[in-house]
Amino acid sequence: MKNNLSIIKKSKYFLDKNECIGIPTETVYGLAANAYSDFATAKIFKLKRRPKKNPLIVHYASLQMLKKDCKINSNFLKLFKKFCPGPITLILKLKKNSKISKNVTNNKKTLAVRFPKKDITIKLLRSINYPLAAPSANISTKISPITKGDVKEEFGKKIKFILDGGRSEIGLESTIVSLINKPKILRLGGIEISKIKKTLGSKIEYSPKDKNIASPGQGKVHYSPGIRIRLNIKIPKKDEAFILIKKRKNYGKNYFYLTKNENLKEAAKNLYKTLRMIKKKNFKSIAVEKIPDKSFGQAINDRLNRASKFQ
């Protein structure tokens, strides 16, 4: 407890000085900075090598703070009551007098907001008087980090501090829902579409092949270990890493199980960890067994499809 207090203090010290630090969340680790500071948020883009036009998610611990920056509506309140804090990001209209840096929104009039669930991160957010802009703490297009060690691998000494909150329990980014017009899913993630639909009591748009992708960061190669990935494979090539979700009778030292009994939530949790492990073992190609396109399988397939665009 005392130890936690001192690492929260240390995090606050660096954030107050407009530095970027790594922070844990239940989805993935974030690269965080003061969302009200142009200077601090510019550093995030530089460190991640992120295109300026790709806006950032802002993390809050209280509705009261969020209301200073955004206009809320009834759909927001329904989803907030049901899922927050938790793995969901909501897109709202920005208030005219909000102090959010223009870097965060790419000068647009909407803001992506999230209430992360890790206790230590909630405590940190409560100890500061500004919200935290935090994209996933990886270099753009690469695999998202789910431990302090992963963040270190991405940025090394380029960041001053990483707040350790243990492994991210969900292991996959938040689901993004736009509430600007009719509710629309912009990214699959930690909460299934069916649950969101049920809470809103209405239809919700989701078109994975939509060319007018409303989440600017969702269009290209992404979540990639920098290795060729082949999907829906029954038998892998000899020297290929093989990602599986169903226990096989035979054993292969190139076999990597996300789950052994098709538990798709467990598989989602293990996806990034497994991709990182395969990369460290220097495999030159990855084959993935067919993953059912339902529940968390949809989010896994979304990430693997984007990762497989790497040539």
Query: Residue numbers of the site for ligand TXA (CB under 6 A)?
Result: 25, 27-28, 30, 54-57, 89, 91, 110-112, 114, 116, 134-136, 173-174, 176, 186, 214-218
Min dist CB 155 to Mg ion, Å, is 14
Which of helix, strand or coil describes residue 92? Answer: strand
Question: How far apart are alpha carbons 83 and 75 in whole angstroms?
Answer: 12
Q: Is 201 left (phi over 0), alpha (psi -120 to 50) or beta?
A: left
* Near Mg ion by CB under 5 A: residue from 136, 141, 147, 224: 136
Taking alpha carbons only, the member of 165, 141, 164, 145 closest to residue 153 is 145
Interface stretch with Mg ion, choices 57-65, 129-137, 189-197, 285-293 (CB under 5 A): 129-137
Question: How far apart are alpha carbons 129 and 280 in whole angstroms?
Answer: 40
Q: Give yes or no for a contact between 22 and 30, defined as CB atoms under 8 angstroms apart.
A: yes
Min dist CB 199 to ligand TXA, Å, is 18
Amino acid letter, 208: P
Question: How far apart are alpha carbons 153 and 187 in whole angstroms?
Answer: 26
Residue 57 near which of Mg ion, ligand TXA, none (CB within 5-8 Å, type-dependent): ligand TXA
Residue 86 near which of ligand TXA, Mg ion, none (CB within 5-8 Å, type-dependent): none
Interface stretch with Mg ion, choices 7-15, 131-139, 271-279, 292-300 (CB under 5 A): 131-139
Contacts of 76 (CB under 8 A, 6+ apart): 90, 92, 179
Min dist CB 78 to Mg ion, Å, is 26
Min dist CB 19 to Mg ion, Å, is 20
CB atoms within 10 A of CB 243: 27
Residue 30 near which of Mg ion, ligand TXA, none (CB within 5-8 Å, type-dependent): ligand TXA
Given the complex with Mg ion, which of 105 and 136 has the nearer CB atom?
136
Residues that bind Mg ion (CB under 5 A): 136
